[in-house]
Structure 1
Amino acid sequence: MNDRLDRLSASPSVAVKQKLDFPVIDTDVHTNDYTPDLEDYVANYGGVKLVDALRNASASRIGRGFIGNGKNWYEQTPEERQYYRTIRAPWWARVTKNTLDVATYHLPELLYERQEEQGSDYSILFPNNVLAPLGVRDKDDRTALQRAVNHYHADLYRKYSDRLTPVAGIGLHTPEEGIAELEFAIKTLGLKAVNIAGSVRRPIRALADKYPAADHPELQKYISYQDFYGIDSEYDYDPFWAKAIELGVPILTHYGSQGWTGRSSISNYMNNHIGHFADGSEAFAKALFFGGVTKRFPQLRVGLLEGGADWGARVFTHLVDRWEKRSLEGLKNYDPAATDRALLTDLFARYGADLTKGRSIEGEDLIRDTLGAHYTHGSRQPQGLELEDFAKAGIEKVEDIKAQWVDNFFFGSESDDRTIATAFNDKSNPLGTKINAIYSSDVGHWDVPDLTDALAEAYGLVEQGVISEADFKAYVFTNPYKLYTEANPDFFKGTAVEAKLKANSPR
């Protein structure tokens, strides 16, 4: 008891928390599984075969699959890394020196006890193995393993549900697979939020047919693409989004882009890391927007974690700017048929003799030699829906973009992220909008060496004038509360958040 009191008095986040008259909701806490216990649980679920599947998937995930000759990065020589372009995977990504925190992330009872030290009333937990099953190729094994892992975490944290809830991992190789696991996680296990990968890697069929996986396994990662479930997807994921809304489930993702073009250094993890969550989540979110998912499902609530919130404001601004130029009305400025051929010829005749040197400037010749052959009358031009990139999203006015971007998406920002100021800058964001930045401490990963510092660091942004007191409240309470309760009004029923709100409500 004395040890706990000493820790409370030493926590800078406790000092901040004492100033607040609203709950703090941490939307991103990472926990680690005690491996023998997890494997015992999985073995009881599906036998040794399923444990082997878990081990293989975990090993592949840690190495990120960037192996060219059967050796991982550390086993290769510098020459081999260059030859195979073996990407430098994340390393030393967990806290080790702070032994108390190491234990905390493994022991649910200790994590529960230390919520007060952390300064949180409620935390959404992302166990590091929650999506490990996605690395299993066999559908039956993948489904069984995902179910076992979700069941394990549900059982592990059930008695701490007033302050902690783990997410369920959901595989979306197909909509049907996702729906089946979603229903099991929510209806059977009683979980309340889910974590998905932001895409599924699929083969480019023309190349896969030419280079079958059985004959060319080493080529498969190079002849594939990312399916982001929205625009251009091979499957119709609308039934999955509809089921999530029916069950009152917010969709959460930590989706990164390490290994993509520009993030494939063979020597430097930080080169590959900085901004990769924002890039990955941006690709996923834009696919939903341009695919019309957020138009068809205005009730869908999506949390995009670890990438910061500034990119959400940036993309919102660019969507508005580009729609104004690329709407059907705006496109009239770029229609090849709109060029006044006679006027252009006259201007070149008057001012361009030194350039044309007697070449033909009549008819389509001048169009070909200035704008390009694809602007001439005989060229195939976009028709119908090809004319408007915003067609599926159904954008008719700027306010539609706000409704289908700002209202659906919530952007996880870590406590030391000063770029959060962009999200709250209603002077520069279109329509005087503040983006839904949500407090995502990321404790459990290397960027938070001490869990008691996170909330205090976040409040430091107020003290430094980066954000206002009102913005801070929106960041750590109002926006996270909206994310979960707009998906499910009863999300916080029976929790410390509900108790805090009742205690602070006017009598």
Structure 2
Amino acid sequence: MNDRLSRLHASRSAAVKAGLNHPVIDTDVHVNDYAPALEDYIQHYGGSRLVDALRKALGSRFATRNGEGRDWYAQTPAERRHHRTMRSPWWARVTRNTLDLATYTLPELLAERLEEQGADYSVLFPNDVLAPLGAGNEYRQPLHRAINHYHADVYRKYADRLTPVAGIPLNTPQEGIEELEFAVKTLGLKVINIAGGVKRPIPAVAEKYPPAEHPLVARYAHYTDFYGIDSEYDYDPFWQKVVELGVPVTTHYGSQGWTGRQSISNYMYNHIGHFADGSQAFAKALFFGGVTRRFPQLRVALLEGGADWGVHVYAHLVDRWEKRNRVAVQQYNPANADLDLLEDLFRRYGGELTDGRPVNRDTLLVDSLGISALPHSREPNEDEIDDFALAGIERVEDIKARWVDSFYFGSEADDRTVAAAFNDKVNPLGTKINAIWSSDVGHWDVPDLTEPLAESWDLVEQGVIGAADFKALVFDNPYRFYTQANADFFKGTAVERIAAQRG
């Protein structure tokens, strides 16, 4: 006990927390699973074959391989270059800080040290929670079910301050619904974590090169389905079930391996900005696909990418809609060009360019000036000119409702760009973006779990954000995210007690 109190006294974050009049909610804590205990659950759900499937999925989760299946570290530099094998993450866990390493694996120790961290309540993302996505079709659902069951059991004792997410597979809407209902109704879990997209074969390529016969082609020739616009399936039944059950949706969706993030030698080159890019693709798919219009109660948190990308997408949605809504886009309709005037101006002022060549307004002028983006094909019809149609955007306020209100953006403690989220002088309609405090403890970017809250408070002392913004970041916005999806989310927790005590 004395050792614990001495650590608590030494924590900068505990000192910051002591001066606050509101709870602190951490929306992103990463924990490890103790393999022998987890595998007991896996064995129960599917025997040794399921255990082997999990081990295989875990072994391949981060490794990138060449055509012969050899991972990056087993390849020579020449082989990496020949196969363009991307360098994957490495040394991703805290090790020198052994106390923290144990804390992320032992639920009782984590619960004890939460006060030292400065948090009142933490949402946990076990590092293995989406590992089953790398398993085959026959293993994916039972693995998810077993892993979710394990997490629900080991953290249930600490439910007043800790809650783990449920990993939900979404290769099909029905698969997602089945695991969602089991996680919520049977296990009592109340937050879900999904991948922001699923890779699918390109039909035209798969027809010519069947994946079973040409696995290497299938590995590289694919597209990503982001569950919204242009999706292979209608995911509305899944989103409807999410809303019906009152479940907040979270994702840590990255883009390492995408074009521009395929360095064969440098992990940092591939890493910086990849969560923002991946989450942006997913969020835009929901927005442009009309998901946030059809399900205004849906709440989605996009973690580890910061909030500044949410700001600039919001601003770009507004300025592009103003230029390219179904009325404004007529400014670029080739039919609206005055070809008589254009021909006259060329004759009067274009002599040096035309050099005596006849000016043919139907070919030379139209083609050379790029008046039509489709000079050799048909123009888009009336149903094809409004990119904002599915989103149902009729005014700027609709963009705010379907982007700002629906999405929350996880910002790590030392992320100075979070200031953009609170800059209502710049953001359209004087809006503040929903930044939520996401410490990311448990990963390499947080070498000491006692520091993140203090690091966020440093931003206040440095004038990067204001005290009211800090409160919004660590309490108001996270509280709203969870309770807008489920009004009883914090019932019986430390957050409810503290909020009641402090009014």
- The aligned amino acid for 2:75 is Q
Aligned residues: 503
Q: Residues of 1 paired with 2:67 and 2:422: CA distance?
A: 45
- The aligned amino acid for 1:96 is T
Task: State the Cα distance separating 1:141 from its structure 2 match.
Answer: 1.5
Q: What does residue 448 of structure 1 align with?
A: 446
Q: What does residue 190 of structure 1 align with?
A: 188
Aligned with 1:180 (options 178, 181, 193): 178
Q: Residues of 2 paired with 1:404 and 1:32: CA distance?
A: 35
Q: Once structures 1 and 2 are overlaid, which stretch shifts more, 407-416 or 219-228?
A: 219-228
Q: Residues of 2 paired with 1:69 and 1:146: CA distance?
A: 29
Q: Residues of 2 paired with 1:377 and 1:459: CA distance?
A: 57
Counterpart mapping for 1:112-131 below 5 A: 112-131=111-130
Q: Residues of 2 paired with 1:376 and 1:97: CA distance?
A: 60
- The aligned amino acid for 1:54 is L
Q: Do the aligned partners of residues 282 and 378 (structure 1) sit closer, same or farther apart at CA in structure 2, a change above 3 Å counting?
A: closer
Task: State the Cα distance separating 1:369 from its structure 2 match.
Answer: 3.9
Q: What does residue 91 of structure 2 align with?
A: 92
Q: Normalized against structure 1, the TM-score is what?
A: 0.98
Q: Deviations over 1:415-460 (max 9, x none)?
A: 0000001111001100000000000000000000000001000111
SS at match of 1:66: coil
Task: State the Cα distance separating 1:69 from its structure 2 match.
Answer: 2.3
Task: State the Cα distance separating 1:375 from its structure 2 match.
Answer: 5.8
Aligned with 2:277 (options 260, 276, 279): 279
Task: State the Cα distance separating 1:368 from its structure 2 match.
Answer: 3.1
Q: What does residue 327 of structure 2 align with?
A: 329
Q: Once structures 1 and 2 are overlaid, which stretch shifts more, 295-304 or 355-364?
A: 355-364
Cα pair 2:325 2:388 within 8 Å, conserved: yes
Cα pair 2:318 2:396 within 8 Å, conserved: yes
SS at match of 1:438: strand
- The aligned amino acid for 2:305 is G
Q: What does residue 35 of structure 2 align with?
A: 35
Q: Deviations over 1:259-293 (max 9, x none)?
A: 00000000000000000000000000000000000
Q: Residues of 2 paired with 1:430 and 1:231: CA distance?
A: 25
- Root-mean-square deviation over aligned CA pairs: 1.2
SS at match of 2:257: coil
Q: What does residue 404 of structure 1 align with?
A: 402
- The aligned amino acid for 1:7 is R
Q: Residues of 2 paired with 1:329 and 1:366: CA distance?
A: 28
Counterpart mapping for 1:36-435 below 5 A: 36-63=36-63, 65-138=64-137, 140-372=138-370, 374=372, 379-435=377-433
Task: State the Cα distance separating 1:137 from its structure 2 match.
Answer: 1.9
SS at match of 1:452: coil
Matched, 1:484 2:482: yes
Q: Residues of 2 paired with 1:191 and 1:214: CA distance?
A: 37
- The aligned amino acid for 1:76 is Q
SS at match of 1:249: coil
- Unpaired segments of 5 or more residues in structure 1? none
- The aligned amino acid for 1:217 is P
Task: State the Cα distance separating 1:222 from its structure 2 match.
Answer: 1.1
- The aligned amino acid for 1:127 is P
Q: Residues of 2 paired with 1:426 and 1:137: CA distance?
A: 47
SS at match of 2:62: helix
Q: Do the aligned partners of residues 365 and 72 (structure 1) sit closer, same or farther apart at CA in structure 2, a change above 3 Å counting?
A: same
**Percent of pairs identical after alignment?**
69
Q: Residues of 1 paired with 2:110 and 2:225: CA distance?
A: 36
Q: Residues of 2 paired with 1:217 and 1:224: CA distance?
A: 11
Q: Deviations over 1:277-327 (max 9, x none)?
A: 000000000000000000000000000000000000000000000000001
Q: Residues of 1 paired with 2:184 and 2:311: CA distance?
A: 32
Q: What does residue 459 of structure 1 align with?
A: 457
Task: State the Cα distance separating 1:377 from its structure 2 match.
Answer: 8.3
Q: What does residue 26 of structure 1 align with?
A: 26
Q: Normalized against structure 2, the TM-score is what?
A: 0.98
Cα pair 1:364 1:376 within 8 Å, conserved: no
Q: What does residue 7 of structure 1 align with?
A: 7
Cα pair 2:66 2:80 within 8 Å, conserved: no
Q: Residues of 1 paired with 2:255 and 2:375: CA distance?
A: 42
Q: Residues of 2 paired with 1:365 and 1:39: CA distance?
A: 70
Q: Once structures 1 and 2 are overlaid, which stretch shifts more, 267-276 or 350-359?
A: 350-359
Cα pair 1:134 1:171 within 8 Å, conserved: yes
Q: Residues of 1 paired with 2:161 and 2:356: CA distance?
A: 81
Q: Residues of 2 paired with 1:24 and 1:431: CA distance?
A: 28
Q: Residues of 2 paired with 1:498 and 1:270: CA distance?
A: 40
- The aligned amino acid for 2:416 is R
Q: Residues of 2 paired with 1:393 and 1:360: CA distance?
A: 47
Q: Residues of 2 paired with 1:195 and 1:67: CA distance?
A: 30
- The aligned amino acid for 2:19 is K
SS at match of 1:126: strand
SS at match of 2:436: strand
Cα pair 1:57 1:133 within 8 Å, conserved: yes
Cα pair 2:8 2:115 within 8 Å, conserved: yes
SS at match of 2:171: coil
Q: Do the aligned partners of residues 275 and 378 (structure 1) sit closer, same or farther apart at CA in structure 2, a change above 3 Å counting?
A: closer
Q: Residues of 1 paired with 2:409 and 2:370: CA distance?
A: 42
Q: Do the aligned partners of residues 368 and 22 (structure 1) sit closer, same or farther apart at CA in structure 2, a change above 3 Å counting?
A: same
Task: State the Cα distance separating 1:379 from its structure 2 match.
Answer: 4.4
- The aligned amino acid for 1:420 is V
Q: Residues of 1 paired with 2:375 and 2:269: CA distance?
A: 47
After the TM superposition, which segments of 4 or more aligned residues of structure 1 sit over 4 Å from their partners? 373-379
Q: Do the aligned partners of residues 17 and 70 (structure 1) sit closer, same or farther apart at CA in structure 2, a change above 3 Å counting?
A: same
Q: Residues of 2 paired with 1:132 and 1:405: CA distance?
A: 29
Cα pair 2:367 2:375 within 8 Å, conserved: no
Q: Residues of 2 paired with 1:328 and 1:215: CA distance?
A: 46
SS at match of 1:106: coil
Q: Deviations over 1:396-427 (max 9, x none)?
A: 00000000000000000000000001111001
SS at match of 1:404: helix
SS at match of 2:65: coil
- Unpaired segments of 5 or more residues in structure 2? none
Cα pair 2:30 2:442 within 8 Å, conserved: yes
Q: Residues of 2 paired with 1:55 and 1:67: CA distance?
A: 20
